[in-house]
Structure 1
Amino acid sequence: MRNRPARLGRRGVRRMLAAALGLTLLAPLVACRATPLAPPGAPTVWPAASARHWQWQWQLTGPVDVTVDADVFLLDPVTTTAAETAALRARHRRLVCQVAVGTYAGTDPDASRWPVAVRGAPVAGRPGSRWLDVRRWDSLAPVLADRFRLCRGKGFGAVALADADAYAHRPGFPISFDDQLLVNRRLAALARSLDLSPGLVDAVPQVAALAPDFDFAVNQECVRRRECARLLPFVDADKPVFHVEYSGDPATFCVTTVGYGFASIRKDRSLDAWREPCPLP
């Protein structure tokens, strides 16, 4: 009977050692799980090994459907709530905010901040929107920086620069191809300075020159427009190309775009929650 307490002590030690060994063996398994995204304010990373394997969602209208089976969500930073971004981040989704950098709408919360001198011609097909004189960097930078800060504050880690091709339209100002290149590079640098990963929306004629400055591309209808090959500078650099078509059979266009290495989906032009993704390679 005197030895019983000693035997119980040894059993307890053995149990403790076994538990410690179990935790040690489990540690590598935990480390192999999906790495959580960095906290708000850190730029999104795009591992080169995953460049051809993303699934994505683009939603600008309606309540955000956080249950969509996609790795990357491109959203409106004004209408998307912090609760929605938090729910998506809890699912380890990568969040990209879409910011218009060459136009503004009269309904924008910051519309009154644009000086009269930079307000240009109406944007075709978008009532209430106007082009901006992107050459006036000193006037644009403070407003756009605050738009980027809104993204960061809501938990986005990347920003997609929309309307970055004023030179190709009739903006009401003599904006040249080189003027646009300069401002787009400045915008990419501004995004990085605010801990956001910059992406280029469309602006296909400038892709070859701008691919080194941006981390990803977003493209609309390169199949219909027959210009998908012009996006290859991103693919060749192992950077994602997030592509959407609004018409056509995915069974047909996916053959082309997945072959190029794009992440492709079919969407309605309203950009609500519905999507039909191309299968991954």
Structure 2
Amino acid sequence: MKQALTTIVGVFTLACTLTGCGAGGQDADSQATADDAAVLPVTLGEWYRPVAGTSWQWQLQGTLNSGYAVAIYDVDLFDSSTATIANLQASDVRVICYFSAGSYEEWRDDADQFVEADLGNQLDGWEGERWLDIRSDDVRAIMEARLDLASSKGCDGVEPDNVDGYTNNPGFALTSSQQLAYNRFLANAAHERGLAIGLKNDLAHVDDLIDYFDFAVNEECFEYDECDLLTPFINADKPVLHAEYDATLTSDNTARQSFCTQMNALGFSSLILPLDLDDSFRYSCL
């Protein structure tokens, strides 16, 4: 072992001489990010693996309507009790638990665990919600605690939201590779706890993350003509749980039928829902 360690140290020293690693904090951080982004997916273990075309319901606000005949319910992690989750599962329903992995929400039970240095700009249109510095060890520890909470409540999987801060204006100089590393961290941490995990939006990284995530959750790819970017999930027999909010789709039956025809052809599990994700109305293409 000593011989192997000496060889490794020697190789590392030579590599540092050639590349200048350790010459500055920024280079060291970049190397750490590169190493983190190269982490292989956790593939061994028992967790829920849904298939393409799985039906679902998504409700994050209001009194939960548990009466839809679907295979998956996507509900809020903090606002859903263990009993609520168990009752859904007793009806042969899988439960995905939503939480934000990329933003601070001032009303959450664990809000006081975040430090000010990790809080960035406010999310446009969402009062009391700020982007997080996903490079922070403290942020990662809080997210691991949230995954532990999901496990303890009996969730079958999780939907971590806002995992595309680098494409927005978070108040931090986040890079694509740092976001990729963070998303891979979330996926592996979920699988290590026996939880399925969905990739929320972040379409630019689909090809890099398809092996890490069990399904996708997408908002408005139809509105922005981006749905084709999610087909790698369908090709891997992993569902795309998709929602649109356009009022035209709720009021115009012809437009809604055309939309569903296109989404069904793609193999998506598409819903038309209120932006607040309450139970005021629901249209399903399945």
Q: TM-score normalized by structure 2? A: 0.79
Residue 271 (structure 1) aligns with = 277
Greater radius of gyration (CA): 1
Q: Secondary structure at the match of 1:212?
A: coil
Deviation digits for residues 69-107 of structure 1 (CA, Å, limit 9, x no counterpart): 111111101111222111111101011011211101111
Amino-acid identity (%): 34
Q: Which runs of 5+ in 1 are unaligned?
A: 1-41
- CA distance in 2: counterparts of 1:44 and 1:238, whole angstroms: 13
Residue 177 (structure 1) aligns with = 176
- Aligned residue pairs total 234
Residue 240 (structure 2) aligns with = 241
- CA distance in 2: counterparts of 1:199 and 1:124, whole angstroms: 23
Residue 18 (structure 1) aligns with = none
- CA distance in 2: counterparts of 1:151 and 1:252, whole angstroms: 37
Residue 217 (structure 1) aligns with = 216
Alignment of 1:187-226 (within 5 A): 187-226=186-225
Q: Secondary structure at the match of 1:256?
A: helix
Deviation digits for residues 209-268 of structure 1 (CA, Å, limit 9, x no counterpart): 111110000011111110000001111111110011112243121111111111111111
- CA distance in 1: counterparts of 2:66 and 2:273, whole angstroms: 17
- CA distance in 2: counterparts of 1:217 and 1:240, whole angstroms: 6
Alignment of 1:151-166 (within 5 A): 151-166=150-165
- CA distance in 2: counterparts of 1:165 and 1:68, whole angstroms: 31
Residue 114 (structure 2) aligns with = 114
Look up the equivalent residue of 1:179 and give its one-letter code. Answer: Q
Contact conserved, 2:134 with 2:140, CA < 8 A, in 1?
no
Is 2:47 the counterpart of 1:43?
Answer: yes
Look up the equivalent residue of 1:145 and give its one-letter code. Answer: E
- CA distance in 2: counterparts of 1:87 and 1:64, whole angstroms: 12
Is 2:65 the counterpart of 1:65?
Answer: yes
Deviation digits for residues 125-180 of structure 1 (CA, Å, limit 9, x no counterpart): 101111111112x2112211111122122221101121000101111110011110
Residue 76 (structure 2) aligns with = 76
- CA-atom RMSD, angstroms? 1.4
Residue 260 (structure 1) aligns with = 266
Q: TM-score normalized by structure 1? A: 0.80
Deviation digits for residues 166-196 of structure 1 (CA, Å, limit 9, x no counterpart): 1011111100111100110011011111111
